[in-house]
Amino acid sequence: MGSSDTVVQTTTSPSRVRRVARRAGAALAGWVDDATARRSGARRPSRREVGAVLGLWAAGRAVNLLLLGVWYLISKAAGWPFGGAGYPAGDFLSFLTDWDAERYGRIAESGYPMSLPTNLSGDVVANDWAFLPIYPFLEHLLGGVGGMGWRLAGVILSILFSAGATVLLFLLLRAVTAPVPARWAVVLFTFGPLSFVFVLAYAESLFLLLLFAALLCAVHRRYAWAIPLGLAAGFSRPGVLALALGLGLVFVVRWRRRRADPFPVRERWWLIAAGGSTALAGLAWSWIADAVTGTPHAYILTETSWWTPLVGSGDFVPLTPWFRFAWTYLGVAGIVLVVAVMAAFFWWMWSRPVRRLGLVVATYVLSYGLYLFGVFLPQSSTFRLSLPLAPLLADERLSSTRRRRTWTLVGALVLQAVAVLLLWTIGYP
């Protein structure tokens, strides 16, 4: 009897595996079909629509400055400590240019250290090699005009780049989805909880401008134009490796569907070049830091130096930071929570509204989510690092009814006021 049961199990197990594999393949094929289907509402917007977007951008920056001004005055009146030095804030311009902005300014004025600073134990401590060079270089150039200095230059650059990023996000989403979700994504992007970063001397606006432009080029299959954009993004902010992975996934899908959707040889080579050059740009800063400082893994050691106060010292292992953080503070319950967060993210990526944002956007946001999970430790800056996921704001479920649109906007404004307090005025950004 036992022998017969063994035979049945042996003969049916491969069949079950094949059935599961077929179902998984069919589900994946359905996801690809949804992601590659042409959207009837997608089209190029008019100049009037772009003008309305710029009006939203201007209103958003005014709200940012208003909320920052209110918390600045309150912090000054209360004598709260502020910034990395822990002293009360100086003038309002200094308030907009502290924390990481101070490091960009130091690079703009003095460049990068030739060796990595260490503590008494010989461990690398936080230093300026964590910050990429294009933004401080632009601060240096603009700051020399009329003697305005890097602080004012940094704020001006951030605000101007945010205008370009806002328009390009709209153009990107109008190329893949209908007018209402595209417009509403811009509203939430403009007034969202972390939008106050767009008036600080931070590189986020520049990176988002380059990223959205590269994604727009990929949507229109102008892969050659994505090459310089990806290269520039790679030296602006960490995160461009996700773009490279997204382009790689686009190549795989287009290759598999080349009979249904022609994939000319010219486009193949340009897409390979775009993905490959973007990946090299994402890795190059680490090699440059090694060469200049003479320290192997200088960039990784610099980045993980910010982790030490939270989880202690230790080697960097990809795909483990979230588990490491969760285990440190919550033990087994933390591991379960991380798995639940991962499952929720993948469920969102699998959902039909995300698929309907098109192949380029869907593969990119999936890749960026994997990137955040794979290399960053969850902390307060994770909220700011999530800004490149902004195309997900076009999820039609956020704008399907007037009630939802009203409550999401109200929630965004309230959370922005809270974020300016907790993630800038009294907390770490």
**For 234-276, how does the pLDDT look when each residue is reduced to its tens digit (9 = 90+)?**
999 999 999 999 999 999 999 999 999 999 999 999 999 999 9
**Does residue 17 lie in a domain region?**
no
Q: Is 293 a member of any domain? A: yes
Q: Under a CB-based contact definition with an 8 Å cutoff, are residues 137 and 130 in contact?
A: no
How many whole angstroms separate alpha carbon 421 and alpha carbon 415?
A: 10
Query: What are the residue ranges of helices labelled H in 37-82?
Result: 47-78
Residue in 302, 306, 304, 337 with CA at minimum distance from that of residue 323: 337
Q: Give the closest residue to 133 by CA, choosing from 108, 97, 151, 116.
A: 108
How is residue 397 annotated by DSSP?
G
Distance CA 138, CA 150 (A): 9
Q: From the CB of residue 5, how many other CB atoms can be counted at a distance below 10 Å?
A: 9
What number of CA atoms fall less than 13 Å from residue 27's CA on the CB side?
A: 8
Q: Are 205 and 252 in contact (CB under 8 A)?
A: no
pLDDT at 183: 95
Q: CA–CA separation, 39 vs 321, rounded Å? A: 38
In a domain, 231, yes or no: yes
Q: Which residue type does 105 have?
A: G
197 domain residue, yes or no: yes
8 domain residue, yes or no:
no
Q: Rounded distance, CA 125 to CA 128, Å?
A: 10
Predicted pLDDT at 242? 98
In a domain, 7, yes or no: no
- Let me know: does 172 contact 212? Beta carbons within 8 Å: yes
Count how many domains the chain has. 1
Amino acid at 190: T
What is the pLDDT at residue 74?
97
Instruction: Report whether 364 contacts 242 (CB < 8 A).
Output: yes
Per-residue pLDDT at 151: 97
CA torsion 325-331-334-339 (nearest 10°) is 100
Domain that residue 188 falls in: 34-425
Q: What average pLDDT values come out for the chain (429 residues) when binned by 10 residues?
A: 48 71 76 73 85 97 98 96 89 96 96 94 93 98 90 98 98 94 96 98 98 97 98 97 98 95 96 98 97 96 93 91 96 97 96 94 97 94 96 95 95 98 93
Q: Is residue 146 in some structural domain?
A: yes
As a whole number of Å, the end-to-end CA separation of the chain is 66
Tokens describing residue 135: 């933004």
Nearest partner of 236 among 168, 135, 326, judged by Cα: 135
User: DSSP 3-state assignment of 82?
Assistant: strand
Provide the pLDDT for residue 40.
64
Q: Which residue, among 161, 134, 148, has the nearest Cα to 61 in the 3D structure?
A: 161
**DSSP of 213-253:** HHHHHHHTT-HHHHHHHHHHHHTTSTTHHHHHHHHHHHHHH
Is the overall model pTM greater than 0.75, yes or no?
yes
Whether residue 9 lies inside any domain: the answer is no
